[in-house]
């Protein structure tokens, strides 16, 4: 079964194409990067600004300043991580500390309490 190749449209000259040779638009030569392109942080910094393919939005996004973009992405990731931690199991610890009860558990799920231990 043959699938139709993904088609791109250059954000600069609006050229429609399926193959991206040499990471550039075949019509105007604009540098167009995708996530699988192997670039180091230093190379992105040297480029400064460029177009990058956003697969979820299926469109080209212009990265005006790589350093600023990197910091913004890191900040968004930290916010997401903090919100996901609060919505998961950490809320149990917050609730128990607010009520003054010690309901902490070991990693294996057993309780730390020793009052009902058999000898």
Same domain as 46, residue 73: no
Same domain as 47, residue 30: yes
Percent of the chain residues past pLDDT 70, beyond the cut: 66
Residue 113 domain-assigned (yes or no) = no
H helical segments located in the chain = 41-47, 66-87, 90-99
Residue 77 domain-assigned (yes or no) = yes
Same domain as 36, residue 16: yes
pLDDT band at 2 (very low <50, low <70, confident <90, very high): very low
Residue 3 domain-assigned (yes or no) = no
Domain containing residue 46: 8-64
If one counts the domains in the chain, the total is 2
pLDDT band at 75 (very low <50, low <70, confident <90, very high): very high
pTM for the model stands at 0.56
Same domain as 84, residue 72: yes
């Amino acid at each position: 079964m043959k699938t139709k190749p993904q088609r791109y449209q250059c954000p600069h000259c609006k050229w429609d194409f399926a193959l991206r040779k040499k990471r550039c638009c075949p019509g105007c030569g604009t540098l167009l990067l995708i996530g699988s392109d192997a670039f180091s942080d230093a190379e992105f910094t040297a480029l400064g600004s460029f177009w990058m393919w956003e697969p979820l939005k299926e469109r080209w996004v212009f990265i005006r300043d790589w350093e600023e973009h990197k910091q913004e992405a890191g900040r968004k990731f930290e916010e997401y991580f903090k919100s996901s931690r609060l919505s998961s199991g950490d809320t149990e610890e917050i609730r128990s500390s607010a009520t003054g009860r010690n309901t902490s558990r070991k990693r294996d799920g057993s309780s730390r309490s020793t009052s009902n231990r058999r000898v």
